[in-house]
Amino acid sequence: MLAAPILGIETSCDETAAAVVTEDLGVVSSVVESSIALHVRFGGVVPELAGRAQVDSIAPVLERALGDAGLDPHRPGVRAVAVTKGPGLVGSLLVGVSAAKALALAWGVPLVGVNHLEGHLVAAHLEHACLELPIVTLLVSGGHTMLVLERTPRSFELLGATIDDAVGEAYDKVARYLGLGYPGGPAIDAMSTSGDPAAIRFPRPLRDVGLDVSLSGLKTAVVRAIDKAPYTSAADVAASFQAAVVDVLVAKCERAVELTGARTLALGGGVAANSRLRAAIIELSTHLGIRAALPSLPYCTDNAAMIAAAGFHLLDRGLASPLSMSADPSLRLAAA
Ligand code: KG4
Ligand code: ZN
């Protein structure tokens, strides 16, 4: 028989999320409320607004997640409450951490503080049972870009990272320059479908060197190209930028798999929703004879199911957190 489920809570940025997940990583309920509409006119997430929206949303989101799972909010019978403790915006994080502490105390169950990045790294496990180790995961979001090795279950080793912009950040900046609004990733992805990815040959910085990534030169090249030829088709610029980014990321993944002997190549983070990147990772995995593990779109972007899933493993290793736990906005990925 399976042990009681875990309630996961995620409030690191502009999404308020709660989910109930079983020990075999079955998602019983998952609710995500976003305050993105409040930030659109500022061209990026405004921390103060995000924090206030978290306060408004946390109770209804928790109620819906418990209700959808058919659990009584007074006696839900969950095994623990797992919550993102960092990294993220401090005002946003504190809302989830405070709610999690209150519920853990009221229900008499352990509190488990989870690293948001570990959540993204575990997301691929939610829908793909028994992934073969070692796993190389490309984690690409608005704030992070890293290549991570999972050689033993849920212990993560950093192989490489961006030395300047995160991939999502580069998408958002280029989109702003093209007047596509915020968030830019989905807009560039959509616009690229009608553009020619070979129209402009943008640079591929560090493509053939090591496992670190650098994107600021590419971003500057895009801005220069637009300034030099303002009437170039925006779709061609978007498609050519996207082709350069994906080309670099795929080369890094291939090198990481070759160096580590990985049997699985996984994606995580908001940019993992990108259509060209997903297709390229599947193609690369087929070429290398290994398995591709791509989370479905709701588990690429911020969600609480991934936090609950990461929480199970911490709990099993006796890594519950004290009620004095605080949010850590600059939490890093723990060394394996
Ligand atoms: O993981 P996430 O939801 O939040 C962070 O932890 O950052 O990622 C958000 C990022 C944004 O930069 C957004 O533009 C990007 O993911 N993104 C995409 C796509 N969908 C979201 N980037 C490229 N293509 C997409 N389809
Ligand atoms: Zn995230």
The upper half-sphere exposure of residue 235, i.e. CA atoms within 13 Å in the direction of its Cβ, equals 7
Average pLDDT over residues 73-88: 96
CA of 169 to the centre of ligand 1 (A): 8
Q: Which atom of ligand 1 is nearest to the CA of 190?
A: 26
Topology (CATH level 3) of domain 6-121+299-316: Nucleotidyltransferase; domain 5 (3.30.420)
Q: Rounded distance, CA 196 to CA 241, Å?
A: 10
Q: Rounded distance, CA 328 to CA 86, Å?
A: 5
Q: Rounded distance, CA 17 to CA 39, Å?
A: 18
Average pLDDT over residues 1-21: 92
Closest C-alpha among 277, 268, 323 to residue 119 = 268
For 210, the token pair is 């090591």
Does the beta carbon of 82 sit less than 6 angstroms from any atom of ligand 1? no
Does the beta carbon of 172 sit less than 6 angstroms from any atom of ligand 1? yes
Does the beta carbon of 271 sit less than 6 angstroms from any atom of ligand 1? yes
- The closest residue, in CA terms, to atom 8 on ligand 1 is 270
The full set of domain ranges for the chain reads 6-121+299-316, 131-294
pLDDT of residue 68: 98
CA of 190 to the centre of ligand 1 (A): 13
- The closest residue, in CA terms, to atom 10 on ligand 1 is 142
Render pLDDT for 118-142 as a digit per residue (tens, 0 to 9): 999 999 999 988 899 999 999 999 9
Does the beta carbon of 299 sit less than 6 angstroms from any atom of ligand 1? no
pLDDT of residue 129: 82
For 214, the token pair is 């650098």
Three-state SS for 149?
strand
pLDDT of residue 219: 93
Closest C-alpha among 17, 64, 60 to residue 36 = 17
Does the beta carbon of 119 sit less than 6 angstroms from any atom of ligand 1? no
Q: Which atom of ligand 1 is nearest to the CA of 301?
A: 3
Does the beta carbon of 189 sit less than 6 angstroms from any atom of ligand 1? yes
Render pLDDT for 18-71 as a digit per residue (tens, 0 to 9): 999 999 999 999 999 999 999 988 888 899 999 999 999 999 999 999 999 999
Q: Which of 271, 274, 277, 302 to mutate to test the pocket of ligand 1 (most atoms within 8 A of CB)?
A: 271
Render pLDDT for 214-273 as a digit per residue (tens, 0 to 9): 999 999 999 999 999 888 899 999 999 999 999 999 999 999 999 999 999 999 999 999
Domain 131-294 is of which CATH architecture? 2-Layer Sandwich (3.30)
Q: Provide the whole-model pTM.
A: 0.94
The pLDDT confidence band at residue 2, using thresholds 50, 70 and 90, is low
**Which of residues 231 and 297 earns the better pLDDT score?**
297
pLDDT at 336 over 70: no
Domains 6-121+299-316 and 131-294 share a fold: yes
CA of 228 to the centre of ligand 2 (A): 35
Residue-averaged pLDDT of the chain: 95
Q: How many residues does the chain have?
A: 336
Backbone phi, psi, residue 78, to 5°? -85, 155
Contacts of 294 (CB under 8 A, 6+ apart): 124, 266, 267, 272, 278, 281, 282
Angle, vertex CA 33, rays to CA 32 and CA 34, nearest 5 = 115
Q: Which atom of ligand 1 is nearest to the CA of 269?
A: 1
> Which ligand is closest in space to the CA of residue 168?
1
Does the beta carbon of 171 sit less than 6 angstroms from any atom of ligand 1? yes
Burial classification of residue 52, based on how many CB atoms lie within 10 Å of its CB (0-12 exposed, 13-18 middle, 19 or more buried): middle
> Which ligand is closest in space to the CA of residue 176?
1
Q: Rounded distance, CA 258 to CA 50, Å?
A: 41
CA of 75 to the centre of ligand 1 (A): 36
Render pLDDT for 157-197 as a digit per residue (tens, 0 to 9): 999 999 999 999 999 999 999 999 888 999 999 999 999 99
Helices (H), 110-183: 116-127, 167-177
Q: Give yes or no for a contact between 164 and 207, defined as CB atoms under 8 angstroms apart.
A: no
CA of 139 to the centre of ligand 1 (A): 11
Backbone phi, psi, residue 203, to 5°? -65, 155
CA of 199 to the centre of ligand 2 (A): 32
> Which ligand is closest in space to the CA of residue 185?
1
Burial classification of residue 266, based on how many CB atoms lie within 10 Å of its CB (0-12 exposed, 13-18 middle, 19 or more buried): buried
Average pLDDT over residues 305-323: 95
